[in-house]
Amino acid sequence: MTNYPDGIRAVLYDFDGTLADSTDLIMRCYRHTMATHLGQCPPDEEWLAGFGTPLDVQIARFARSDDESRAMLDTYRAYQDSIHDELLRPFPGAAETVAELARRGIALAIVTSKHRRSTLRGMGLCGITEHFDVIVTPEDVGNAKPHPEPVLAALERLGVAAGEALFVGDSPHDMASGRAAGTRTAAALWGPFPRESLLAERPDVLLHRQEDVLELVRGG
C-alpha cells in the first residue's frame, strides 16, 4: 500500500457501497420499481452499471416517458422508505475508521450521488453524522459524478487543495471524479463493482478494508 503520511489533510468519502452497505437495499428497490412499472425486471447488471450516478439519471434509462420516469421515482422512493432502516448498515470498521480520522484532525467530507435527505438518514444509521461538516449531494451541484464538480465543491468548502485530499469510493465514477478534480484516489474493493472496472480508472491505491485508510494519513 502506498503511504502519504505528510500529504493528506482531507479524506472525501462516497457513501453507498463505501461507508454504507446498501447494495441489497438498492437492488430490492430497483427490482420492485421495474416489476411495478414495466411488468418485468431487466438484468441486475444493467442497474449495477449505473451505480454511483443519481437516482433520477438511473431511472430515466429504463422509463419510456418523462411521466413514467417521475412515477418510477416515486415508487422507488416510497418503497425505499419502507425498508431503508431494516437493510442499510455500515460496513464493518467504517464508523471506527471515520472517528479515528476525525481524532487525528483530518478534514472529512461526503461526496455522494444520493440525495441529501436519504444521505443524512443513512449517515445517522451508520453512526457517522457528527464527523462530517461537509456533505455534497446532487442538489448542491450542476453536474454529478463522474464529473469533478462534486469533489471540487467539497474541497472548496473544506478549504483544502486537491493535492492534499484523498477520495475514497467504490465505483469507477468515484475514481474518475476524484482523478479529474486532482485528488488522490482510493478504490474500496468491498463494494459491488468488479476489481477490473475500478482498475480501469487508475486509482492510486486499492483498499481491502476500511482501516486501510488510516495507513494513508497521519495526524495527531
CB atoms within 10 A of CB 127: 14
Q: What is the pLDDT of residue 6?
A: 56
Measured distance CA(185)–CA(182) in Å, rounded: 9
User: Within the chain, which residue ranges are assigned CATH 1.10.150.240?
Assistant: 23-87
Please give the positions annotated as active site: 14
Q: In the chain, count H helices and then E strands.
A: 9, 8
Count of C-beta atoms within a 10 Å radius of residue 177: 30
CATH architecture of 23-87: Orthogonal Bundle (1.10)
Assessment of whether the complete model's pTM goes beyond 0.85: yes
Q: Where in the chain is the domain with CATH 3.40.50.1000?
A: 10-21+89-216
Q: What is the mean pLDDT of each run of 10 residues along the chain (220 residues)?
A: 66 97 95 97 91 90 96 97 96 98 97 94 97 96 96 98 97 96 98 94 97 86
Decide if domain 10-21+89-216 falls under CATH 3.90.226.10.
no
Sequence-ordered list of residues with C-beta below 8 angstroms from that of 135, at least 6 positions apart, any chain: 109, 110, 112, 116, 119, 120, 123
Q: Which residue has the cell 488522490?
A: 184
